[in-house]
Structure formats: structure tokens, C-alpha cells
Structure 1
Amino acid sequence: MPVSSKVRQRCRGLLAEGDVVQYVFPATSLMVSMMAAHRNFVIVVTDRHVTVLACSTFRRWKPVSVWEQLPRSTELGPVDVHPSLGPTVSFGGLVLEIDEEYVATVRAADLERDDDALPRDPF
């Protein structure tokens, strides 16, 4: 299920000025800097950054602060699939569990981070 426009609007308010949102997906932390933690995040991939937004403790879809901002060249994958956990990604000191429906989003964001990975437009 795509992220709602209301959540995207909340995310835009926390991004750097001029960032154009390309991908947004929710995630839940399994590890934060080698410490077990259960925290909800919204990952926003823009044309210039990968921004990890921390969500409210009681509301999964309400980002309240910027946890970390990484360069757009940051690789989000590969997606590891664990039988007991589901899909996970690791970047920026985080191990995040994502819903299966967002695996394609992570892979698409990784493909677009490098302009040489995509074929040239014939037109």
C-alpha cells in the first residue's frame, strides 16, 4: 500500500529545502548502533538525500524529527529476507524491518542512485 499524501506532507516539512521526494516507505528498527531497539521510522529518498525520520512513540505514521540524513549515493539494499523477521535492510547504523510490499521500492531507489545503472533513453 503506498504511503498516503498526508504522511508525505508531514515528511516534506522535515526535509531540507529544495529536496524533491522520490520514494517514501516505513520501517521498524531491530538494531540501532548495536543496541536492540524497537522504533518506527519513515525513510524518505529524495533527489539529494536519504533521510531517516523518527516517528512518534505512539503513532507509527507521524514523523517528528530527523534521525539521520545520508547522501543520495547511500545504498539501501540488499534486502535480506529472514524466515522469522521478514525483509530487512541495513544502512547508516540501522537494521530495519520493512513490509514485503516495500521491497520493490528499496530496489528501485538503489537502481536510481547511480545514473550509470539505468540504460540510456533512446530518444
Structure 2
Amino acid sequence: MPVSASTRERSRVFLDEDGEIRYLFPAEVWPSAKPSVLVVVSREAITVLSTGLWSRRKPKSVLARLPRETVLGPVDTHLTPSFTVEGIDYELDEEYVAVVHAADAEITRSGGIPPDPFPDV
């Protein structure tokens, strides 16, 4: 399920003033005492927001801020989709694997943003 507009607005508070959200997806940090996070990809940075133990929709604090040039993938889809960034393992729902790939393609492709797979929708 796509991330709601209200979750996007709550997440925007933790970004820089002109921080435009390019990609946003929930993930789980495994193993961790604060497992639920939102990963927010903006033009300037990748921001990992803690949502606490009981919610995947309400960001509470910034756990990490990474340079936008950071590549999130590859996503290991063998069992539960997961990826590792800066030594931290993140698990995500299958539906968000394409979001991670799109965020990575934006910085690794010479043409910039990947083409919209559903331009008529």
C-alpha cells in the first residue's frame, strides 16, 4: 500500500526547508529495539526516521541522515526483501522493492530519474 499523504506531511517536518520528498517507504531495522523506520529520499539526502515500536506511520525522530549519493540496494529478495546501508540491515515489504530500485536508479543512471512505468495512469 502506498504511504499516505498524512505520513508524507509528518515526514516532511524532519527534512530541510526545501526538502522535496522523492521517495518514501517504511522498513524494519533488524535486529533493533526501535525496529520501525521511514526512509525518506529527498534531493539532498536520505533520511531515516524512527517511528517507534507501535507505528509505521508517525515519525518521531531522525535516526540517520545519509548523503543522497548513497546507494540503498541491491535488495536481497531471497526470503524477506532486505538491504544493508552503512552496516545496518533493513527489511521491507515486497511492494517497496521497486521504490528502492527507483531511488537508486535516479543516482546511478546517466539519464537521471527513471522513466515512469505507467505514464497513462
TM-score normalized with structure 1 length: 0.84
Q: Which runs of 5+ in 1 are unaligned?
A: 31-35
Q: Which runs of 5+ in 2 are unaligned?
A: 114-121
1:16 and 1:94 mapped to 2: Cα distance?
A: 24
Distance 1:20 1:118, change over 3 A: closer
TM-score normalized with structure 2 length: 0.86
Higher strand share: 1
Question: Aligned ranges for residues 99-110 of structure 1 at < 5 Å?
Answer: 99-110=93-104
8 Å contact kept, 1:111–1:117:
no
Distance 1:117 1:94, change over 3 A: farther
2:76 and 2:111 mapped to 1: Cα distance?
A: 21
Shift of 1:82: 2.9
Match of 1:2 in 2: 2
- Percent of residue pairs identical: 42
Shift of 1:118: 4.5
Shift of 1:94: 1.4
1:77 and 1:114 mapped to 2: Cα distance?
A: 11
Indicate the SS of the match to 1:18.
coil
4+ residue runs of structure 1 moved beyond 3 angstroms?
A: none
Q: Deviation per CA, 1:62-102, whole angstroms, max 9, x where unpaired?
A: 1100000001000000000232xx10011133100000000
The size of the alignment, in residue pairs, is: 113
